[in-house]
Amino acid sequence: MTLLSIEDLAVNAGALSLVDGVTLDVDPGEVMALVGESGSGKSLTALSVMGLLGEGLSVDRGCIELDGADLTQMNDEALRTLRGADMAMIFQEPVSSLNPLVPVGAQVAESLIVHGRAKPGEAMAQAIDMLRRVGIPDPARRATQLPTELSGGMCQRVMIAAALISKPRLLIADEPTTALDVTIQAQILDLMSVLTAEVGTAILLITHDMGVVAELADRVCVMYGGRVVEQGPVGDIFANPCHPYTRMLLRTLPRLDEKPKGELFAIPGNVPSPLDWPEGCRFRTRCDRSSNICSTRPPLEGGIHRTACFHPESVPS
């Protein structure tokens, strides 16, 4: 049974379309990676799920179902009972996402208290236990400290502890390791996969790093220009990319484990801004396979591996 199902989601800023018909689903306990470059709409998709779209942004159409209940139809109060309890989110910048004036232990305990799952004393004991489980040494003392007294990596552990303490069914992680150094990133990725597996939490992982995707994801959803261009199991996406954008994106990455062979493969052109997205397929102006038909919108077609392209590299298996 599907945990999260997003159907034909569109997000607009006034008349400007930013997310245009995103369809994806997340099963219980799985890691679904949402991949794309800046402006692809991946973060807006995630914020729509949480009901946290900023001022001026609105869900224009589509539905977002968590366990069969449509989140887009809920009022703020109903969403508040879900946020922090059934679904939680961690952000890219751990230091700016934590309250600088509140000791980290209280911030981890907060969601238990707000949702009435524990009395303050009991919640604090659980928070300290959670801090220990995310690998913070001397958690009882650290719990009394402010975020500024902790390193960036430690703050990200605190955020993970705060997100996972109420054992949510869905964790949305928006670039959770992008602001961290690579040796700290390895620790955090390791921690996320161990802890979520224990509780059975599903992760919607938003990232631009294909290395992180390959390391953590079960399935991948590739976005470009506010739309899904390809979706499928992680092995298929990397071994048999169907959409020209996915194939070019994978080819353009310099590889750490390969000797350099002269020029890097480069995708021509620029990432277009939502103001100049072309008609039809939004990648067609940079694509080497485009033809006349590409000026109409390609549908997302296929089975477990699907792509939105009239001239796919290969037929989805």
Partner 1 sequence: MTLLSIEDLKVHFPVRAGQFGGRKALVKAVDGVSLTINSNETLAVVGESGCGKSTTGNAVLGLAPSTGGKILFEGRDLSLLNAVERKHVWREMQVVFQDPVAALNPRRTIAQSIAEPLVIHGYAKSKVAARVDELMDLVGLNADQRDRRPGALSGGQRQRVVIARALGLNPKLVICDEPVSALDVSIQSQILNLLMRLQRELGLSYLFIAHDLSVVRHIADRVAVMYLGLVVEEGPTEQVFSQPIHPYTEALLSAIPLPDPALRGKRKRIILEGDLPSPLDPPKGCPFVTRCPIAEARCSSDRPQLVTAAPSHLTRCHVRAPENTE
Cβ closer to partner 1: 164 or 180? 180
Q: Helices 152-164 and 104-114 meet at what angle, rounded to 10?
A: 10
Rounded Cα gap, residues 142 and 138, in angstroms: 6
Q: By CB under 8 A, what part of segment 167-196 binds partner 1?
A: 181-187, 189-190
Number of H helices, E strands in the chain: 11, 12
Who's near 152: CB < 8 A, 6+ residues apart? 94, 95, 179, 180, 184
Instruction: Specify whether the CB–CB gap between 34 and 221 falls below 8 A.
Output: yes
Which of residues 37, 67, 93, 301 is near partner 1 by CB under 8 A?
37
Least CB distance to partner 1 at residue 162 (A) = 19
Site string for partner 1, 127-146 (x = CB under 8 A): ----------x---------
Please report whether residue 260 would count as binding partner 1 according to CB under 8 A: yes
Using rule CB under 8 A, residue 274 touches partner 1? no
3 state SS of 175 = coil
Among 214, 240, 278, 311, binds partner 1 (CB under 8 A): 214
Check residue 252 for interaction with partner 1 (CB under 8 A). Answer: yes
Nearest-approach distance from CB 232 to partner 1, in angstroms: 12
Smallest distance from the beta carbon of 61 to partner 1, in angstroms? 28
* Per rule CB under 8 A, count of chain residues that contact partner 1: 47
Based on the shown chain and the rule CB under 8 A, indicate whether residue 199 belongs to the binding site for partner 1: no
Query: Per-residue DSSP letters for 183-198?
Result: HHHHHHHHHHHHHHHH
One-letter amino acid of 107: Q
Nearest approach, Cβ of residue 302 and partner 1 (Å): 19
151 binds partner 1 (CB under 8 A): yes
CB 58 within 8 A of CB 12: yes
Does residue 228 sit in helix, strand or coil?
Answer: strand
- Reference 200, options 84, 30, 86; nearest CA is 30
For partner 1, the binding residues (CB under 8 A) are: 37-38, 137, 151, 153-154, 181-187, 189-190, 208-215, 217, 234-235, 238-239, 248-250, 252-257, 259-260, 263-267, 270-271, 273
